[in-house]
Amino acid sequence: MCIAIPMKVIAIDGKYAVCEYEGIRKLARIDFLSEVKVGEYVIIHTGFAIQKLDIEDALETIRIYKELTSGQTSEV
């Protein structure tokens, strides 16, 4: 199962965007999306931005993710 966390686009260079979530940066291709802009939020899968999210949806998703993972341990 894959859980996708919205990442904020912080820089764009051609077909690539640098995206960030909580200090973690990933390089992603943005070929699949039209008109990606710095400051927007995207979902990344296997190195490609596959969906843009409006800021309200992105922040709500991040809030829910943090709520679900707070206090979690890594024990299996």
Q: Which long-range contacts (CB under 8 A, 24 or more apart) does 57-61 make?
A: 57/6, 58/6, 58/8, 59/6, 61/5, 61/6
Note the pTM of the prediction, 2 decimals.
0.84
Residue 49 included in any domain:
yes
Q: What's the CATH code of the domain at 30? A: 2.30.30.140
d(CA 60, CA 22): 15
| 43 φψ region: left (φ > 0), alpha (ψ -120 to 50), beta (else) | beta
Q: Is 75 contained in some domain?
A: no
Residue 1 counted as domain residue: no
Looking at the structure of the chain, the number of domains it has is 1
Domain that holds residue 41: 7-69
For residue 74, is it within any domain? no
Q: What is the pLDDT along the chain (76 residues), one digit of tens a residue?
A: 677 889 999 999 999 999 999 999 999 999 999 999 999 999 999 999 999 999 999 999 999 999 988 866 555 5
